[in-house]
Chains A and B, each alone.
Chain A
Amino acid sequence: MDQTTWNFIFIGITFSVYIGIAIWSRAGSTKEYYTAGGSVSPFANGMATAADWMSAATFISMAGGIAAAGYGASKFLMGWTGGFVLLTTLMVPYLRKFGKATVPDFVGDRFYSNGARLVAVICAIFICMTYIMGQMRGVGIVFSRLFDIEIWMGVMIGGGIVFFYAGLGGMKGITYTQVAQYCVMVFAYTIPVIFISIIITGNVIPQLGLIGNYVKEGAENSQPLLEKINQISVDLGFREYTAGTGNKLDLFCITAALMVGTAGLPHVIVRFFTVKSVKAVRKSAFWTLSFIAIIYLTAPALGMFARTNFIEEINEKKYQNAPEWFVNWENQGMIAWVDKNNDGIMQYRAGNVFTGKPTFNDTNRLENGPRLVTNEIDSSANEVYYDKDIIVLANPEMAGLPKWVIALVMAGCVAAALSTAAGLLLVLSTSISHDLMKKIIKPDISDKQEIRYARIASFGALVIAAYFGINPPSSFVAKTVAFAFGLAASSFFPTLIMGIFSKRINKEGAIAGMISGIGFTLSYIIYFQFWTESKDYWMGISPEGVGFLGMIINFVVAFLVSTVTPPPPQEVQDMVEEIRIPKGSGEATHH
């Protein structure tokens, strides 16, 4: 069977499962729509949260980033898992006890003000919107590769599927679909790595690759794999794979911003409102991180294996003998080779091949010759360009694995993008139907009308997200990820923490804190990402890490303003005492 047939089989089966689950579990009430009726088991919720959390970016790009940056990519590994420790110990048990369906609900009630609620709603919409665009783009790209269609068609198909089960099923439908999607993702991610691990380290457990030896056939003597990679890297002019990055402060700030941002992302927080009690929240958080860890412990091994395979397969080989996958990806424009020294051999070294992303001119291309690029050629000795996003997708081909494995990986990518998009879409639609319509604009609407607003809102949000997925304004999507995390880190995280752990922080403090935290973070990111080309960061802290500073500003401002304004009313202080006691959490309500 050829590759396209396998792709159709895998995508077809997984999609039928998702749609079947959506129909089986469609929501009847707002409670089911927002929190799945509060009846999901901690184990199932853990799987669903893991799928919700791991996006197309994690699935496709992270291992490639690790392969390219080595130790420098540790910020993603630690940042995107460590946040769950903060989330579990500082936030979700208390928010679950509070018992409302959304994050702006808590902010509005705790700070007894619709102003605070509105600021929170705007933050939630902005965070989810920026995040969901990237997912739509991811779905579009995978579909266009799979079925050889235009990207816009891929985006429309993906959007249609997500609307179908997120709009119909609400949180209940999403939860059970995400459980299925997690299973697809974990197989798709680990199975190819297991095969490769056996070839390279002789160990069936790929996660142990980091501490294992290189035992590939034909190896002269067995040596630690990392030592070998360090050696190759240095030989080719790179820094050692395991070596530090120089700017510790920036690494520290980015890791912190990712952790704190993770703990402040509304679509992750609301997932814990679907279980029965505070006790179940704790258990579920443990399951969530365990499921995430299976993939996150595999990623660094995959990165190493991919780097080894890539160099062994390509470096110092004749272009005429280049492997099939190399030529395929070259035809997709994700790989390019410039024969700088005219020897017909590909030299892979440190440094840029040319400036920017490749642009091709195929009119003068010789038969069986490389595609010719029109970019300005760099003076470095490096001749091989590759887009690091192809690492996960190309890895099975690099290792010569069978075709069905490649189809499985594709299905995993789609599952990752769809599950995250669905979770985000739910928060977007509830922010509008519940927090905006029901709580602020039209308090007298009925349950049924509220769900109708939610469905209309999710349709509207999808149309906008699909539009930007099809027409991303110049690599806008990649840059906006910094926005989502920076905003979550500088707005929700500190505000929620203070709402739970302090009885003294009042509405003036919370609003002032949120606005100054976000204001600072947004200005810094916009200035360096869109305004200027300069990389002259303050103290060397890059825009990805600035959310950490924004968080500190939020804390300080909220504290200062609160001390000079009157304390919160007694009933709010009583409420804070109440949420600190786990007993009596009951079901999460929407009223």
Chain B
Amino acid sequence: MKTLNKILFILACLLLTISAKAQQESDQQKRERVEKNTEPFNPNYFSIAENSFYVLEATIEDNKIVIDSTATIAVVPGKMPYPNGNFKVAILDRNGEKISEYLMQDPLIARSCEGENDNVTPVDKGRVYISLPKNTNIGTLIFSRGKERVGTVDISNLIVRTRQ
């Protein structure tokens, strides 16, 4: 019985080693696949005309995004960043049809990961920068946090100005 236990133990160790080894190789392969899908850095990247998108700069007033006379839309180099965060921007065209959605870090919240108290507070005043696809049909932006809608702005006139 003791011998049988020993054999079973050795077999289990062998299986664990083999599976760990297989996992390691598999991880390498996965990384190779990612790296294969990653184009090398092109020194001309930021001067290529197709690599551009809109950035809306607007005012934050009383914790709301406001399109006032200082609001602008700039055409900037590069492509929109990878979407991440809990602040959703739904981009609608002039007919109210959804063009796309984009997730970003919440611009209406100031978040401190240092100190013990009041780590999250609303931003009452400031400026906000929102990345948008370069689409001249954009009409309205709807902002939401989770399931809570936190604002809507119409930027169709700003888009027209940008086109001119």
A and B: partners? Answer: no
